[in-house]
Amino acid sequence: MDFAKFQRLVEERTGFRTMEDPTAVGEYLSDSCGDLYTFYLRIGPGAVIEDVSYFTTGCGFGTATASLVVELVRGRTVDEAAALTTDEIEACLGGYPEKKKDYPQRVLEALRTAIDDYRAKVASGAIPDYAAMPRPAESVSPVRRPAETAAVEVSADGEKPLIRLH
């Protein structure tokens, strides 16, 4: 298990928030421990997940797993997010301890419930079919995360490029 990554996910809690006016919402209550997982999705043209957040009453493993799923599905299409597997989640974290191996499944249940909510709303006509809308050009490029942002400057002597990552 990549403990440093696990710790970062727990500390930063990427996506840990409720969402105002989400396109879809999904909940999963674990009957084994009572943890609640709620995912909020904002879907845009091309059925791209433009924003995703979650709330959980779960422990560090629940928080880390949900944060990881947020990172994995933001910018993907609904169909791509629906195809996410527990093996992919486990691989991203370098595995889970044996007693915690069910956390990816718990989190995926909540995500898939939100995706089902989106699809049901489209089928009923409650919301537009975003998949039928053309995907904007800017959504095609990969989603840039703050850690990927870099500024390039030229040094005082005008010779060396300086790259600032933060």
Higher pLDDT, residue 75 or 146: 75
pLDDT digits (tens, 9 = 90+) for 150-161: 344 545 555 555
- Identity of residue 103: Y
For residue range 75-114, list pLDDT tens digits in order: 999 999 999 999 999 999 999 989 988 899 999 999 999 9
> Reading across the β-sheet that carries 24-29, which strands appear in turn?
24-29, 36-44, 48-56
What is the total count of domains within the chain?
1
Residues with Cβ within 8 Å of residue 8, at least 6 apart in sequence: none
Measure the CA–CA gap between 150 and 3, rounded to whole angstroms: 26
Q: Structural domain of residue 11, as residue ranges?
A: 3-164
**What sign for the dihedral angle of Cα 69, 89, 76, 79?**
negative
- Is residue 26 a contact partner of residue 112, using CB atoms and an 8 Å limit? yes
CATH code of the domain containing 50: 3.90.1010.10
Q: Produce one character per residue of 1-29: b if its CB has 16 or more CB atoms within 10 Å, e if not.
A: eeeeebeebbeebbbbeebeebbbbbebe
Question: Which secondary structure element, helix H or strand E, spans residue 64, and what is its range?
Answer: helix 60-73
DSSP, collapsed to helix, strand or coil, labels residue 10 as: helix
pTM: 0.80
